[in-house]
Structure 1
Amino acid sequence: MRRTSTTLILLTLFFLLSSHELFLKSDSYFFEENSLGELYLINGTFDESENVITRDRIINPKILGPNYDFKPSSDDYYDKGEITFLKFKTGNTGTYVAGVSTKPRVIELSGENFTTYLEHEGLTEVILDRKTKGISNQVANEKYSKHVKAIFQVDERRTDNFSTQLDYPIEFIPLKNPYNLSVGDIMSFKLLYLGKPLGNQTVHISSRINTDAKDGKETALSTNDKGEVSFTISNIGHWYIATINMLERNEEDFDYESNWATLTFEVK
């Protein structure tokens, strides 16, 4: 196949990729009007970041709200430990959406490590396709990028800015304002890929009742033919929905292209 491996400890790279989901989070998703606030990027699991996101990787950052359109610059970020923080000032009361996208990178994995990674992420269709083609043991070059969003509330007035499409390659669009919901209510999302509904896609849902909770149980669901998925809000706390869409490609530098999406919000 294409380029010769320039070996940089493939097993280490595998674990870095397979465990490194990206989330845009806040300690509290409730802010005051016209006040200073912070969001932060967690690159690892929902509970722990394993490395910062360098500024050269960040593209299309934005925070949108009622009469509010903030596009962060490199000066609006700072790092602390393994976490990247984003500083901003809120505007008028309302429901806001924030997002960050990353530039693509390419990683090379052995066939065994790639299969393990696919199993870890529940990408069974890719596993079966590689098995059918007899290429499960072949090296795989994957181009990947990540696209993360957070929905947060500024003071009391609820607005429809939560559903604003950020035009990322893949993204979740809330079909309900999460800040109108209570425990026992149904939350719904539409998943878009290149602006169109993505049906029959596995997504993962999880929550934490408090910020000290670790390793909450994930629930796997599938979008319907309209790209929609719904679930019951079973508890207060921080919630996320996540997915990885992977497609086979026949390019010079990579065989597969994956786009990762997450969205976080809070329920009181």
Structure 2
Amino acid sequence: MKLRKTLPLILLGLISLAASAQDNYLVPKSYYLHKGSKLEVYLVAGEQFKDVDEYKYDASKTTKFMLYDDGKKINLMTAAKDSASPVVNTIANNSGMIMVEMTRKIPPTPIEHDTYAKYLNDEGLVKLAETVTNSNQSSFREKKVCYMKTLVMVDKASGDDYDKPLGQEFEIVLKKNPYKLNYGDDLTGVLYYKGKPLKDASIDLLLKTEKGNVYPDRVTTDAKGEFSLTVTREGVYLIRSVRTVASTSNDADFETIQAAYTFLFNSANTRTSDFKSFGLSDRN
């Protein structure tokens, strides 16, 4: 393992990580369900796991939308309706782990010169940031693809859908079930790009506690594309990575792909933890 971090280590000095990046991610209303209860998942966006905006379902921007339950694959696009909120509203029919994934394409969007230069610097893309800084363009067009996952437990932490690659172009895969962890345990994951482990890539680890505090950290994948964190606090975890390159098409200046994975760590696996508990929404 090339680099391992304990999360959280410190808050001060790290708050600027990904500060300009508008992450898209999936957030269940509750991460702990009982068989037969309602599963509701929202599509949200925000910076630094804060300033949350909700998006309604948009078929024109969605290229993949799946639910994995007890080994079964359910294509959610066949039943999803435009402008639906939450984007998932179904019944948890089986005990065990449920995985929801979505791929969302965002068309070229203009971003102001200084804002985009700061974003690239925050992501550690120094050369691209210098290119933008030295340019006389007032704004830059970025098109983006977001690959999102969220993991929910229904009664018990059984099943292994969490550790299988789902074929996303840019994908985070966990090697351990986070709902089986105890304090001080290590959680290891792998970052894949086009089906192969991606080495020397930045991974941001963002933890939001029940009081709404966010503890960010950043690690780098090793030669096997692996990263690791030690769970030391209860809360909602967002693991994310971003890859930005100069565009070769005429409709954008830059192209970004983002991987985002959310889950909740609670040592007892018993508390009902919802949007409101973690400051992600005013919903009850």
SS in 2 for 1:162: helix
Structure 2: distance between partners of 1:265 and 1:49: 17
Counterpart in 2 of 1:142?
A: 142
Retained in 2: the 8 A contact 1:115–1:136?
A: no
1:75 maps onto 2:81 in alignment: yes
Counterpart in 1 of 2:16?
A: none
The AA in structure 1 aligned to 2:107 is R
Q: Could you tell me how far 1:177 is from its partner in structure 2?
A: 0.9
| Bigger helix fraction | 1
Counterpart in 2 of 1:124?
A: 126
1:256 maps onto 2:254 in alignment: yes
Counterpart in 1 of 2:217?
A: 219
Retained in 1: the 8 A contact 2:64–2:102?
A: yes
The AA in structure 1 aligned to 2:120 is L
Structure 2: distance between partners of 1:262 and 1:141: 22
Q: Which has the higher contact order (CA 8 A, sep 6+)?
A: 2
Counterpart in 2 of 1:154?
A: 154
Q: Could you tell me how far 1:61 is from its partner in structure 2?
A: 0.8
Retained in 2: the 8 A contact 1:172–1:261?
A: yes
Query: What is the 5 A alignment of 1:156-171?
Result: 156-171=156-171
Query: What is the 5 A alignment of 1:1-268?
Result: 18-45=20-47, 46-55=49-58, 56-72=60-76, 73-75=79-81, 78-79=84-85, 84-127=86-129, 130=131, 135-138=134-137, 140-210=140-210, 212-214=211-213, 216-268=214-266
Structure 1: distance between partners of 2:41 and 2:198: 28
Counterpart in 2 of 1:3?
A: none
Structure 2: distance between partners of 1:37 and 1:54: 16
Structure 2: distance between partners of 1:148 and 1:157: 21
Structure 1: distance between partners of 2:246 and 2:160: 36
TM-score (ref. length: structure 2): 0.77
Pick which of 226-235 and 36-45 moved more: 36-45
Q: Could you tell me how far 1:54 is from its partner in structure 2?
A: 4.3
**Which ranges in structure 2 are unaligned for 5 or more consecutive residues?**
1-18, 267-284
Q: Could you tell me how far 1:77 is from its partner in structure 2?
A: 6.7
Retained in 2: the 8 A contact 1:76–1:87?
A: no
Q: Deviations over 1:139-178 (max 9, x none)?
A: 5332211111111111125111112322222110001111
Aligned length: 243
The AA in structure 2 aligned to 1:74 is A
Structure 1: distance between partners of 2:173 and 2:180: 16
- After superposition, the Cα gap between the structure-2 partners of 1:182 and 1:232, relative to the gap in structure 1 and judged at 3 Å, is same
TM-score (ref. length: structure 1): 0.81
SS in 2 for 1:34: coil
